[in-house]
Structure 1
Amino acid sequence: GQAVRGWDNTHIGHFQGSSFPGDDLGWVNVGSGWWTVPVVLGWGAIPDQLVRGSAEAPIGSSICRSGATTGWHCGVVESKNDTVNYDVGPVYEMTGTTVCAEPGDSGGSYLTGDQAQGVTSGGYGNCSAGGRTWFQPVNEILNRYGLTLHTA
């Protein structure tokens, strides 16, 4: 029920559900003056990307991530159904990648082609030296709350 505000401090909506640890997910309803678009930001590195579905990419697939701190970065899907142990407790059924991330990239989208994959949770390393990140699969979030992905 907590209010969520946008980059310009205007009201976006309210949290309708969230879970952490155990999972790392949540969703916000979108109120007046804001709307959803089926696009992931390319941060000038590439054109913004249309989202056309959420077919799960297999291990070994190329995958890219959009993040507010480091922009657009790519790597490979390395593992599935991982448990990630954070200081506050474990998060289960995460997908591991070779994509780098840094603080502030959490919550950013992962894509394989035009298919949504998940939402950045955490990892180690950085985008100068490399690292590994994990994401919460988007289909788990959609299924948990009975949501439908907005696609192009």
Structure 2
Amino acid sequence: MTGSAEASEGSAICRSGSTTGWHCGTLQVKNSTVNYPQGTVYGLTRTNVCAEPGDSGGSWLTGTEAQGVTSGGSGNCSFGGTTYYQPVNPILSTYGLTLVTG
């Protein structure tokens, strides 16, 4: 990783998950609201990348730029689906963190 420059809608994006490994697709919509059974989460980014249970918390990237952390979604990697991630820059800002690269 070289940084965390935010990708635009329509960008190619990839994620890593402990259950399913690496998968790629397209960043579809930023600033989405998702109503999970545990509560509502705001400010997520929607993608068409597949994910399955156990992939939550995995990393997202575009090229060499960090994008976020897997939040959840629907579908699976056999049939496709929708997966959301929490963008990394607001996480860094909220908690006063710095992304360390290299």
Shorter-chain TM-score bucket reads over 0.9
- Gaps of at least 5 residues in structure 2 are none
Q: CA deviation at 1:97?
A: 0.4
Report the Cα distance in structure 1 between the residues aligned to 2:62 and 2:71, rounded to whole angstroms: 17
| Alignment partner of 1:139 is 2:99 | no
Report the Cα distance in structure 2 between the residues aligned to 1:57 and 1:98, rounded to whole angstroms: 15
Matched residues, number:
102
Q: Which residue of 2 aligns with 1:103?
A: 53
TM-score, reference length from structure 1: 0.67
What is the aligned-residue identity percentage? Answer: 70
Superposed CA RMSD in Å reads 0.4
Q: Which has the higher contact order (CA 8 A, sep 6+)?
A: 2
Q: CA deviation at 1:89?
A: 1.0
Structure-to-structure mapping, 1:2-151, within 5 angstroms: 51-151=1-101
Larger gyration radius, structure 1 or structure 2: 1
Aligned with 1:136: secondary structure?
Answer: strand
Q: CA deviation at 1:87?
A: 0.6
Aligned with 2:10: secondary structure?
Answer: coil
Please identify which structure carries the higher strand content: 2
TM-score, reference length from structure 2: 0.99
Report the Cα distance in structure 2 between the residues aligned to 1:151 and 1:62, rounded to whole angstroms: 21
Report the Cα distance in structure 2 between the residues aligned to 1:70 and 1:88, rounded to whole angstroms: 24
Q: CA deviation at 1:88?
A: 1.5
Partner AA of 2:38 in structure 1: V
